[in-house]
Amino acid sequence: MGLDPTSRARFNLKDSSVLLLDATPLGMTILVQIVTGLGAKTLHRCTDLESARLAVEGNQIDLAIVDSLAPSGEGYDFVEWMRREAGEPNCYTPVLMTTSHTPRSQISRARDCGANIIIKKPFPPITVLERVIWSSKEGRKFLFSDTYVGPDRRFRNVGPPKDMKGRRREDFTATPLPQGHAEVEAAGAPDAESVEIEN
């Protein structure tokens, strides 16, 4: 995902409307310096959820950089609200989550609230630029369901296992079991989180 330091490509956010949500003055100052350094001129600086919601309801947002607002994690709730309630076009806005702590549970929470990617603090400006470019080009489908709204949580699409049509029950029932093999019972609960499997 790293940028080539010898590249002469130029990136400019001057025509983008950027929402920044961070409750700490230092965090907000750093975000403002980074995005203005990338050319952004229209900034919606929010230090709490209410001002962030008002900014989303009253403006078209092209990029959101949202802190998790630890320890309560209200930033994750805001992203979920934005995906479900903000309406078009803001529900599709690329969202970069920032946090000081990245245990697996927080990474899963960021993924499940609908964020495009999570960035661990402290981060240099180049990291933000790389994630902005990646989010704009990633091409993951946007999903709507009862339990999740956001970009497809799968980063890789490797298809079904070799010599198999797919992973659905009907893909397996058409093939008789080899002699001496018993049918596997349905699982009572998932054996592993998808994050654990991918890691």
Cβ contact 64:53 at 8 Å: no
Decide if pLDDT at 31 tops 90: yes
Beta strands of the chain (E only): which ranges? 17-21, 42-46, 63-67, 95-99, 117-120, 142-144, 149-151
The domain spans of the chain are: 17-151
Q: Is 162 helix (H, G, I), strand (E, B) or coil?
A: coil
Per-residue pLDDT reduced to its tens digit, 135-160: 877 677 878 888 888 887 776 666 66
> Would you put residue 97 in left (φ > 0), alpha (ψ -120 to 50) or beta?
beta
Decide if pLDDT at 17 tops 90: yes
Span 12-33, average pLDDT: 93
Sign of CA pseudo-dihedral 67, 70, 73, 78 = negative
Alpha-carbon 75 to chain mean position: 12
Q: 74-85 and 49-58 helices cross at what angle (nearest 10)?
A: 20
Contacts of 73 (CB under 8 A, 6+ apart): 106, 109
Residue-level pLDDT at 163: 72
Per 3-state DSSP, what percentage of the chain is helix, strand, and coil (rounded to 5)? 35, 15, 50
Closest to 110 (Cα-Cα) out of 147, 68, 82: 68
Residue 153: CB atoms within 10 A of its CB come to 15
Per-residue pLDDT reduced to its tens digit, 1-13: 555 555 555 678 8
Decide if pLDDT at 59 tops 90: yes
Q: Which CATH class is domain 17-151?
A: alpha beta
pTM of the model: 0.72
Residue-level pLDDT at 98: 93
Dist CA 30 CA 94 (whole Å)? 20
